């Protein structure tokens, strides 16, 4: 039996898949729990695969089946009930013991006294269908400024290096690795009896598991994502993090693999890229309690120094306030956060449609040459979404299917059908890859 798991956080990117295959994997992942209930508990090339942190689960539909990361904040000091869950990639013993031990009261006291969080119209609730989230305590107007988190609360790369005791080599790591090493260092220091620094309470409030793919055993990735384009993305995510961990431990062997894997798991589910700070990466305590909802258009904003949220609708007291993690397909939500919206619920679900010149076309070679002249390929991939498709898909198809009597007309037809692509060195390719 394992600790009850929950999902929470902000952030990252994976390739495209269909909503149905993603939901099937999510459902299967949850179903595995029942089959394993009686089983004993087993307890980036160095560059990380490209990941896109969110500006920052979904409805409580029973179709939103998910593996959930351990409850990091509880209502009281009483231990939570346990329930059987799917096998995980690493033993729970490999995660620093202090993680997930802070109570709601301890976390809020840290936010209001040490971090100077101003009075809020939101409160932290830990027993929502999604796990924890922020709920309105009074009416919230559309567009009004919420959160107002001070800059001093942010854990940026620069602040992590300044607060860390790892030494000069810490700053030589990639930015993701800098933050992962810092979180692992803080958690291990707390376990060793040190105070853990100014962010100790936050580290103890973080979830032990997020349900993201870093926590999936290899057999689950192969089995549950079989036939889905997400399988390769999931394997690449695990491999890139393994490589990054090896790179970090080459300089800092005292940082355990389990602590670093937990740290990367947290980063993939919570990290935000702040637009008004040049895209700077940051962990943002309090803002990372917001849950995502498909179709939501409220985004984290750092204009004016403090980190804020302007809701895209009115909320009544008692309603959960949502933010958008960005326009993310369900595959990305599943791999990074461990949950998937119900089929048809996520307007950003997409599938990669590949179009190409028919090899049997009488003008196949001439069409291929015409496309290459404007920076395109005889085979191109397009994102097909529930809420629409790129106009370039039809433009490309119209050229692929044209049949002029004189093949010398093809370069001109390509220009007309795909106008604008040459000027930016292959706009269509940039859009669709």
Q: List per-residue pLDDT tens for the chain, 433 residues long.
A: 222 223 333 332 223 344 445 545 555 554 443 333 222 222 233 334 434 455 433 333 322 323 333 334 643 333 334 344 456 776 889 999 999 999 999 999 999 999 999 999 999 999 998 889 999 999 999 999 999 999 999 999 999 999 999 999 999 999 999 999 999 999 999 999 998 789 999 999 999 999 999 989 989 999 999 988 789 999 999 999 999 999 999 999 999 999 999 999 999 999 999 988 888 999 999 999 999 999 999 999 998 889 999 999 999 999 999 999 988 889 889 999 888 888 888 988 888 899 999 999 999 999 999 999 999 999 999 988 877 888 899 999 999 999 999 999 999 999 988 865 443 333 343 333 3
Q: What DSSP letter does each residue of 338-369 carry, written as one string?
A: S--PPTTT-TT-EEEEEEE--TTSTTHHHHHH
Rounded to a whole number, what is the largest CA-CA distance in the chain? 81
User: What are the two backbone dihedrals, phi and then psi, of residue 124, each rounded to the nearest 5 degrees?
Assistant: -80, 125
H or E stretch covering 391: helix 391-401
At 292, list the tokens: 């995502």
pLDDT at position 344 is 85
How far from 283 is each of 150, 156, 184, 351, 360, CA to CA, in Å? 13, 7, 14, 30, 54
pLDDT (tens digit per residue) in 12-27: 222 334 444 554 555 5
Sequence-distant contacts of 157-163: CB under 8 A, at least 24 apart: 157/280, 157/281, 163/197, 163/198, 163/199
- Distance between CA atoms of residues 400 and 132, nearest Å: 50
Task: Give CA angle at 409 (406, 412), nearest 5°.
Answer: 175
- Distance between CA atoms of residues 203 and 285, nearest Å: 10
- Distance between CA atoms of residues 291 and 197, nearest Å: 28
- DSSP state, residue 17: B
What is the end-to-end Cα distance of the chain in Å, rounded?
Answer: 43
- Distance between CA atoms of residues 78 and 277, nearest Å: 41
At 37, list the tokens: 């209930």
CB burial of 201-210 (b: ≥16 within 10 Å; e: otherwise) equals: bbbbbbbbbb
The answer to whether 380 touches 360, Cβ cutoff 8 Å, is: no
- SS3 per-residue string spanning 241-310: HHHHHHHHHHHCCCCCHHHHHHHHHHHHHHCEEEHHHCCEEEECCCHHHCEECCCCCCCEECCCCCEEEC
Q: State pTM to two decimals.
A: 0.73
pLDDT at position 281 is 94
CB burial of 28-40 (b: ≥16 within 10 Å; e: otherwise) equals: ebbebbeeeeeee
Sequence-distant contacts of 279-282: CB under 8 A, at least 24 apart: 280/156, 280/157, 281/53, 281/156, 281/157, 281/175, 281/176, 281/179, 282/154, 282/155, 282/156
CA nearest to 392, candidates 413, 421, 349: 421
- Distance between CA atoms of residues 179 and 160, nearest Å: 6
pLDDT (tens digit per residue) in 224-261: 999 887 899 999 999 999 999 999 999 999 999 999 99
- Distance between CA atoms of residues 297 and 323, nearest Å: 7
H or E stretch covering 131: strand 131-136
pLDDT at position 86 is 57
């Amino acid at each position: 039996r394992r600790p009850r798991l929950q999902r929470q956080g902000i952030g990252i990117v994976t390739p495209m898949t269909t909503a149905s295959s993603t939901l099937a994997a999510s459902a299967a992942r949850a179903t595995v729990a029942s089959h394993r209930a009686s089983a004993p508990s087993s307890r980036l090339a160095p560059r990380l695969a490209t990941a896109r942190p969110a500006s920052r689960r979904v409805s409580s539909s029973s179709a939103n089946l998910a593996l959930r990361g351990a409850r990091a904040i509880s209502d009281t000091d009483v231990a939570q009930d346990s329930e059987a869950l799917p096998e995980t990639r690493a033993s729970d013993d490999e995660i620093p013991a202090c993680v997930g031990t802070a109570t709601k009261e301890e976390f809020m006291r840290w936010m209001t006294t040490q971090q100077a969080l101003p009075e809020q119209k939101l409160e932290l609730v830990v027993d929502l269908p999604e796990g924890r989230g922020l709920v309105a305590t009074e009416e919230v107007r559309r567009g009004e400024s919420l959160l107002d988190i001070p800059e001093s609360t942010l854990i940026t790369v620069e602040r992590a290096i300044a607060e860390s005791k790892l030494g000069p080599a810490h700053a030589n790591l990639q930015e993701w690795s800098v933050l992962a090493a810092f979180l692992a260092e803080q958690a291990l220091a707390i376990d060793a009896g040190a105070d853990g620094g100014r962010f100790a309470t936050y580290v103890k409030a973080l979830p032990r598991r997020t349900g993201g793919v870093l926590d999936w055993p290899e057999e689950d990735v192969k089995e549950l994502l079989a036939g889905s384009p997400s399988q390769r993305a999931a394997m690449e995510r695990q491999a890139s993090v393994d490589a990054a961990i090896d790179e970090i431990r080459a300089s800092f062997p005292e940082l355990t693999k389990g602590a670093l894997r937990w740290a990367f798991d947290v980063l993939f589910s919570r990290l935000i890229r702040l637009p008004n700070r040049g895209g700077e990466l940051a962990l943002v305590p309090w803002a990372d309690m917001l849950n995502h909802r498909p179709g939501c258009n409220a985004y984290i904003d750092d204009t004016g120094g403090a980190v804020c949220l302007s809701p895209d609708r009115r909320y009544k007291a008692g309603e959960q306030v949502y933010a958008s993690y960005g326009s993310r397909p369900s595959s990305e939500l599943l791999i990074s956060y461990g949950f998937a919206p119900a089929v048809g619920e996520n307007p950003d679900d997409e599938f990669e449609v590949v179009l190409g010149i028919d090899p049997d076309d009488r003008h196949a070679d001439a069409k291929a040459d015409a496309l290459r002249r404007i920076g395109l390929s005889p085979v191109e991939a397009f994102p097909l979404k529930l809420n629409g498709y790129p106009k370039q898909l039809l433009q490309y198809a119209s050229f692929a299917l044209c049949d002029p009597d004189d093949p010398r007309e093809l370069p001109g037809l390509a220009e007309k059908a795909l106008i604008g692509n040459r000027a930016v060195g292959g706009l269509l390719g940039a859009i669709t890859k």
